[in-house]
Amino acid sequence: MKSVVDRFMEYVRHDTQSDENSVTFPSTAKQLDFARFLLEELTSVGLKAELDDHGYVMGTLESNLDYKTPVVGFIAHMDTTPEVSGKEVKPRIVQNYNGGDIILNAEKGILITPSVFPKLKEFIGRDLIVTDGTTVLGADDKAGIAEIITAVEYLKDRPEIPHGTIRFAFTPDEEIGRGVDYFNVKGFGADFAYTLDGEGIGTFEFENFNAATCEVKIKGVSIHPGAAKGIMKNAIKIGNEFIALLPANEVPEATSDYEGFYHIYQMSGGVQEAQQKIIVRDHFKERFEKRKEFLKACAEFINKKYGDNTLSLEIRDSYYNMKEIIERTPQIIEIAEKAIKNAAIDPIIKPIRGGTDGARLSYMGLPTPNIFSGGFNIHGIYEYIPTFALEKAVEVVLNIVKEVAQIKK
C-alpha cells in the first residue's frame, strides 16, 4: 500500500491546470488524462470506481455492517489554479525543517522565508513538501485526492474495521467554478459528504462567500491623438474611472474574516475597446445583493457621463453561502468536529473566504462542508504542505467513517 506522501508526490507531477476561457468540459484534456490515471490506480488496488463522460471519477466501498447507516461521501478536485503554472511540478521534501529560509530555486533566487510566511515557524522539526519555485505545488487539491484514496484503501485492506457504505468522487474544473456543473447527486447516492479542500491543519468550514463574476465591456472612440479634442473617448481611462468608483478598502488585500470585497483580476484592451473581469464576494446575502446593485449604479454613472452603452455589465452568480443548508443537519458538523478532535487536533472553525464544490453541492441536495487537506500558500509558487498534515487528514477521514458507522438508520 502506498503511503499518502508517496501518492501525493506522484499526483502533483500530473499537470491538471483548468482554463476558464475554454468552452469544453472538462476545460482541459489533461484533467481527463489524470482522471484516467486515477481510475486505473483505483482499479489496480481493488477499489470499485468509474469514470463518466464528463470526467468525474466516482467510487464505492461497500458496507461491511449488518445494519444500515447513512452513506457518507468524500470529494476532492483534480484541477489546479489557472493563475500559476502546474506544468512540470518538481516536489521536494525538506526534512526536519530548521525554522530558517527555504531555498526553492537558487538559480532564480526564490525562497520561502518565515519573515513573510510566519506560519512556517509552527513546523520546525517537521518535514515539508515544497516546489522548485516555478510552479504551484498542487496540494490544492491533489492532497485531498491522495488522502481520500489512502483512507479508503486502508479500510478495504482491513475488513475487520466496521464501516458503512462510502462514496468518493474527484471532480474537474473546481478552480474555475464549474466543478459540479454535471455532478450527478442522485447517482452519487450519499446522504451527506465532505470535501477535503481546506487550507491548513484542523480547518473545518461550513460557511463560505456568496460569489458572483462581473464582466465589464467599455466602448470608446479612437481617433488620432492630434485631432482628438472633444472626440476621443479612451476606453482604458473610462475603465480606470469605473474601478476608482469602487470602495478602495473593500478589496482582498485589505479585508479578512467576514468582510466582503470587489476584486478586479483581469483588464485588457485599448482606446477603442476595453474589458475587465471583477469578482464580488460577501458572506451575507443582503450585503451581497447590495454589492451587485452598487456595480450597476457605478455603470449608470459612467453611462450618464460618457453616453449610453459606453459601459455594459454582465453579472453572473457563481455560488452561495452553504451555511444555510449545512445548519439544517447539525449532526454532520458534530461528526467532523469529533473526528478532528479524535485525531488530536483542535478544530479551527472559520468562514471560507472563497468557495468549494461543497457550496454548490449543498444547494443541489448534498450537504457538503469542507475539511482541511493541509496545504499552505495555495495558488502560488510558495505553496507547501507538511507531510504530517497529509497523514492527519487521512486519520480524520477514518475517524468520520468510524463515527458514521455508529449511526443506525
Instruction: Give yes or no: 174 in active site.
Output: yes
| pLDDT, position 231 | 96
Q: What is the mean pLDDT of residues 361-383?
A: 96
Is 236 a domain residue? yes
Q: What are phi and psi of 386, to 5 degrees?
A: -70, 140
Q: What are 236-245's pLDDT values in tens digits?
A: 999 999 999 9
Cell of 163: 464501516
Is 96 a domain residue? yes
Annotated catalytic residue within 15, 153, 174, 199: 174
**DSSP secondary structure letter of residue 131:** -
How far is the first Cα of the chain from the last one, in angstroms, to the nearest whole number? 33
Which of 32, 62, 37 has the alpha carbon at shortest distance from 152? 62
pTM: 0.89
Instruction: Give yes or no: 79 in active site.
Output: yes
- Last residue of some domain: 263, 287, 319? 319
Looking at the structure, tell me whether residues 160 and 288 fall in a common domain: no
Average pLDDT of the chain, as a whole number: 96
Q: What is the mean pLDDT of residues 154-176?
A: 97
Looking at the structure, tell me whether residues 127 and 60 fall in a common domain: yes
Find the CATH number of the domain harbouring 39.
Answer: 3.40.630.10
Number of domains, the chain:
2
Looking at the structure, tell me whether residues 266 and 328 fall in a common domain: no
Which position has the grid cell 464505492? 60
Q: Residue 396 belongs to what domain range?
A: 4-207+321-404
Please state, in angstroms and rounded to a whole number, the distance separating the CA atoms of residues 74 and 398.
Answer: 11
Q: What are 118-147's pLDDT values in tens digits?
A: 999 999 999 999 999 999 999 999 999 999
Is 409 a domain residue? no
| pLDDT, position 177 | 87
Annotated catalytic residue within 15, 79, 153, 207: 79
**Quick check: 351 and 176 in contact, CB under 8 A?**
no
Q: What are 23-64's pLDDT values in tens digits?
A: 999 999 999 999 999 999 999 999 999 999 999 999 999 999
Looking at the structure, tell me whether residues 298 and 328 fall in a common domain: no
Looking at the structure, tell me whether residues 304 and 375 fall in a common domain: no
- How many other C-beta atoms can be found within 10 angstroms of the C-beta atom of residue 318? 18
Q: In angstroms, what is the C-alpha Rg of the chain? A: 23
Looking at the structure, tell me whether residues 301 and 381 fall in a common domain: no
Is the sign of the CA dihedral 172, 174, 176, 178 positive or negative? positive
| pLDDT, position 354 | 84
